[in-house]
Structure 1
Amino acid sequence: MKTSNVVLGIVGGLAAGAVLGILFAPDKGSNTRKKIAKKGSDLKDNLKDGLNDLMSNVENKYKDLSSKVSETIDKSAENLEKINSELKR
């Protein structure tokens, strides 16, 4: 499962839970507005954390892939030099 799908699922679940919680727990309008603002802030923070985790994961995978590509290029260059020197003999 892709990390982005997991983050999207978590955010969607949080949003649905917040809406249902507000709808099924009636309160004074001012209290409800405060709750909505708090849930929105919490949702924003959770989304921000999820995106930071996703970006960190992508960055780590990029670094790993970059180092593997670099190693492969170095090994290929060494093999080409060996072949070239053997052909010169």
Structure 2
Amino acid sequence: MNDNGNTFLGILAGTAIGATLGILFAPDKGSVTRRKIAEQAEATKDSIAETTLDMRDRAAATVASKRESFDNQLENIVSDVSHKTEDVITSLEKKLAQLKANNKKLQKS
């Protein structure tokens, strides 16, 4: 996204400079040329603002998507750990029952 943004800004800057130079060398009155420069500057400012908003929206969408993916992965990990913990507890309970039975046999009545 960074390379695309830099490329777009480079193209936009080149276009703005080219348009401004074209206006400056055009055979118009000074007032007409100044008006054209002002219009071109306003159009460039609007284009940059629009591009910035678009890039911000795409970044926000990417962050939201990554966060949702992370939340899902974390939930899956917690669930897996819970299941494995349950298996360990069950195994320990069986071993404890065996140990109690063996201990009972060793005790005199």
The TM-score, its normalising length taken from structure 2, stands at 0.74
Aligned to 1:38: 39
**Aligned partners of 2:32, 2:16: CA distance in 1, in Å?**
18
Are the aligned partners of 1:18 and 1:39 in contact in 2 as well (CA < 8 Å)? Answer: yes
Pairing 1:1-89 to 2, within 5 Å after superposition: 2=2, 3-89=4-90
Q: CA deviation at 1:4?
A: 2.0
Q: CA deviation at 1:6?
A: 3.5
Structure 2, unaligned runs of 5 or more:
91-109
Q: CA deviation at 1:22?
A: 1.4
- Bigger drift between 21-30 and 36-45 goes to 21-30
**Aligned partners of 2:44, 2:12: CA distance in 1, in Å?**
7
Higher relative contact order, chain-length normalized (CA < 8 Å, sep 6+) = 1
Larger radius of gyration: 2
Are the aligned partners of 1:14 and 1:43 in contact in 2 as well (CA < 8 Å)? Answer: no
Aligned to 2:102: none
**Aligned partners of 2:80, 2:58: CA distance in 1, in Å?**
33
- Bigger drift between 62-71 and 5-14 goes to 5-14
Structure 1, unaligned runs of 5 or more:
none
Count of matched residue positions in the alignment of Structure 1 and Structure 2: 89
